Structure 1
Amino acid sequence: MTQEPRQAPRQPYHRPGTRQAIPPGWPGRLPQEKIVLDPGKPTWMDLVTVLAYILIFILGGAVLVTLIPGFQEHFTQPDGSLNEGSFTFTINLISYSILTVLALIACWRPFLASFRTFTSHRWLKIGLIPAIWFACIMVNALVVMSAGGDIKSENQLAIEGMTTEVAFLPMVLVTVFMAPFVEEYIFRHLLIGKLSRRVNVWVCVVISMVLFASIHFISTGFNFDPVQIIPYLTLAAAITVAYVLTGKSLAYATILHVFNNLVSIVVAYSVLPLLPEGM
């Protein structure tokens, strides 16, 4: 009796364009590696952008812009008063346009590469964006109830004031796209992504959160009710943790920040005008 020849083990079928032979969840499939993005080493362009940010927002963008002959007079009304909403917005537009260009030159490669975070758990990460925003809103609502009143900061009031003077689309361009990108580049990509090459990442997280919340009170000389800082700390905590857990994805942090600001601006233009004055 002859023994039948043993058949060679059947090779798993590879779909064209894929590397994994075993579908997700099947026995034998190796666990998917966590995506960790490399923000890269600090560059001279990073230094230039940070110095420009400090010069514009800490030393006073308004002072620098008003050095342009006739600039402030363009926003002076017939009665001699200054149209503060349009004036402030124009300063922000000029400032963030400069900083956005500098930041894009400095980090466009790692920014595009950071979209790789969506190659794993894509729908979970997308779904978490509104969920994280809603969680921040609930935390802030609890703080409002505990404080027994409004916790709007001077920065928030200034933005709401601009909505009565500035059209929706220009406001979206600056507040929803430019500002979040620049801030995420500074406070997440640099202060956590690159600084954590030399300092413990969670120390960088604390530094990033504190500076991010504080920067919104520069215009007041840091004169504010401590409760007013809670919304900024809540947002900073949410974005910072999301940034770290998504493998230091600048793209994910920016999208989360954009979503938060977009909702705020839409509400400011559509809902606030319908409320009674003083609310």
Structure 2
Amino acid sequence: MTTDPRPTEISLSPQTPTEFPSPLPIVTTTTYATPASSPTRPTRTDWGRIAIFGIPYAAFFLVGVPTWIFPASWSLTAINLAIDTVLLIVVLAFFAREFFPAFSYLRTHPFLKILLLFGLWILVVIVQAATRIALYGGNPPVAENQQQVINALNDGTLGLAFSFFVTVGVPLVEEMFYRHILIGKLSAYAPTWLVASISATLFAYMHSHQWQDFFSYLPLSIVLTLIYVKSGKNVAYSWLFHALNNTIMVALMFTMQGALQNA
């Protein structure tokens, strides 16, 4: 068998074009979806909603509940229910479109994410207990904020309604203000670590009636802040932890009350 030693001529004329492998497609325009955690400046409409909700809430936070505007026959539980109801309605009206879609965060690894919340709750309880023992000794008193909740839960039918707001409504109102607004919205104007620190400090301070309470609530406040930030500023996930914490506490209060009555 013989082989022609002459090289084969390749014509580059238009009539016989050489075929080369097609190059990779060049992407001329790339569109990236903005991550959920990326800060975006609120619009004028956003600022209007924030003001209508945030200013009254901040006023109650600074000066306390204006009991003088309610009938004298109303109990403190009824007044708290009235205020909480109004705030919850405003939050749902203004922020429902931002809150409910955030539950899509649980589409991936929902079991692990819920399990993580329970683990963090146990950690918070241990740290809080250690903090109160360090501040008060071996027999720490009940925090004033928790005592007020216990008193309200014992207020008959109003107490049952109040338990709903403590476990579901109040966490939603507080998460919208302290996390979604103070961190999620304001991080467009300041570093996240700064607004997150302010949020955690204000949340712990708001639950304090004496200086020891601040350090008792600070672990919960820090964990809530970390959950919100580390989840991509997901307010639904931080609300779940807040609601979980309050639900367990209310259940323990009812259990202890029943045990004392049966003793």
TM-score tier (shorter): 0.7 to 0.9
Q: Relative to 1, partners in 2 of residues 1:166 and 1:232: Cα closer, same or farther, differing over 3 Å?
A: farther
1:154 aligns with 2:139: no
Q: Relative to 1, partners in 2 of residues 1:134 and 1:104: Cα closer, same or farther, differing over 3 Å?
A: same
1:51 aligns with: 55
CA contact (8 A) 1:176 1:258 kept: yes
Q: Relative to 1, partners in 2 of residues 1:46 and 1:34: Cα closer, same or farther, differing over 3 Å?
A: closer
Q: Relative to 1, partners in 2 of residues 1:39 and 1:96: Cα closer, same or farther, differing over 3 Å?
A: farther
1:104 aligns with: 92
Query: CA shift at 1:191, angstroms?
Result: 0.5
1:202 aligns with: 193
The letter for the 2-side match of 1:106 is F
1:229-248 maps to which residues of 2 (within 5 A)?
229-248=214-233
Q: Among the aligned pairs, what percent are the same residue?
A: 26
2:254 aligns with: 269
CA contact (8 A) 2:88 2:169 kept: yes
CA contact (8 A) 1:37 1:114 kept: no
Query: CA shift at 1:47, angstroms?
Result: 0.8
Q: Relative to 1, partners in 2 of residues 1:237 and 1:166: Cα closer, same or farther, differing over 3 Å?
A: farther
Distance (Å, rounded) in 1 between the aligned partners of 2:192 and 2:165: 30
Query: CA shift at 1:204, angstroms?
Result: 1.0
List gaps (5 residues or longer) in structure 2. 1-32
The letter for the 1-side match of 2:64 is G
Residue 122 of structure 1, aligned match among 103, 110, 114:
110
CA contact (8 A) 1:49 1:102 kept: yes
List gaps (5 residues or longer) in structure 1. 1-32, 76-86
Distance (Å, rounded) in 2 between the aligned partners of 1:271 and 1:259: 18
Larger Rg: 2
Residue 65 of structure 2, aligned match among 57, 61, 64:
61
CA contact (8 A) 2:150 2:253 kept: yes
The letter for the 2-side match of 1:36 is A
CA contact (8 A) 2:39 2:187 kept: no
CA contact (8 A) 1:46 1:103 kept: no
1:36 aligns with: 36
Structure 1 length-normalised TM? 0.73
Distance (Å, rounded) in 1 between the aligned partners of 2:254 and 2:222: 27
1:216 aligns with: 207
1:163 aligns with: 153
Distance (Å, rounded) in 2 between the aligned partners of 1:129 and 1:101: 27
Distance (Å, rounded) in 2 between the aligned partners of 1:35 and 1:121: 19
RMSD of the TM alignment (CA)?
A: 2.3
CA contact (8 A) 1:39 1:189 kept: no
1:91 aligns with: 79
Residue 174 of structure 1, aligned match among 146, 149, 165:
165
1:186 aligns with: 177
Query: CA shift at 1:238, angstroms?
Result: 0.8
CA contact (8 A) 1:243 1:252 kept: yes
Query: CA shift at 1:108, angstroms?
Result: 1.0
Distance (Å, rounded) in 2 between the aligned partners of 1:45 and 1:246: 24
Q: Relative to 1, partners in 2 of residues 1:107 and 1:47: Cα closer, same or farther, differing over 3 Å?
A: same
Moved more, 157-166 or 46-55: 157-166
